[in-house]
């Protein structure tokens, strides 16, 4: 199977890249950080996996489109899409600036929207379906007063996932939301 993992240069994204490639998947690793992103791909290749690095930012639609197109060109299709890219927006809501809010929306919601939208297009065009995994959070279900904006974004990711799962089931496209709790990441 072939796919794209966004935010693949560290933390959960890097672990996802490692795990998928260890299971034989062919992955386009999309990340803003060229140095760490390439290092992760190099590590996967050294372990016998198949991956290529694509520098890009999920807040730019053309970067998401380019990563999906590269997967289709290099690996013959797109079977998997993992929308993992994320940033943490800490602070109480009244202290959150408009710029911070907009950045969280751009990365978490708009980035996932573009990843889902363009993956769905590719999967429907192939006629083979596929799997989309969106990374939510335990905060998709609960709340954290110090992470109000982040909680709102992750709740939105869960809602997007549910709607896609219902709407595209007959196209053979599964959409799931993985909602981890706290973890140590860089």
Q: Could you list the active site residues?
A: 150
Taking each helix axis from N to C end, the angle separating 11-22 and 34-46, rounded to the nearest 10 degrees, works out to 30
Secondary element (H or E) of residue 3: strand 2-6
Query: What's the first-to-final CA gap in the chain, in angstroms?
Result: 29
Across 7-154, where does the E strand assignment appear? 26-31, 50-55, 80-83, 130-135
Output the CA angle 185-36-152, nearest 5 degrees: 45
Give 186's contacts (C-beta < 8 A, 6+ positions apart): 10, 11
Q: What share of the chain is helix, strand, coil (3-state, %, to 5)?
A: 55, 20, 30
Of 58, 57, 69, 88, nearest in space to 28 by CA: 69
Question: How far apart are alpha carbons 18 and 41 in whole angstroms?
Answer: 9
């Amino acid at each position: 199977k072939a796919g794209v993992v966004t935010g693949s240069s560290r933390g959960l994204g890097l672990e996802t890249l490692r795990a998928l490639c260890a299971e034989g998947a062919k992955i386009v690793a999309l990340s803003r950080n060229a140095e760490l992103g390439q290092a992760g791909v190099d590590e996967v290749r050294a372990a016998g996996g198949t991956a290529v690095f694509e520098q890009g930012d999920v807040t730019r639609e053309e970067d998401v489109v380019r990563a999906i197109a590269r997967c289709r060109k290099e690996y013959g299709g797109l079977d998997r899409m993992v929308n993992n890219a994320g940033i943490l927006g800490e602070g109480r809501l009244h202290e959150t600036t408009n710029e911070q809010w907009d950045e969280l929306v751009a990365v978490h919601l708009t980035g996932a929207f573009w990843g889902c939208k363009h993956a769905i297009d590719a999967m429907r065009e192939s006629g083979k379906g596929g799997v989309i995994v969106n990374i939510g959070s335990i905060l998709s279900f609960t709340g954290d007063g110090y992470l109000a904006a982040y909680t709102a974004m992750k709740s939105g990711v869960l809602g997007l996932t549910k709607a896609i799962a219902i709407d595209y089931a007959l196209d053979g496209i599964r959409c799931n939301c993985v909602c981890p709790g706290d973890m140590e990441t860089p």
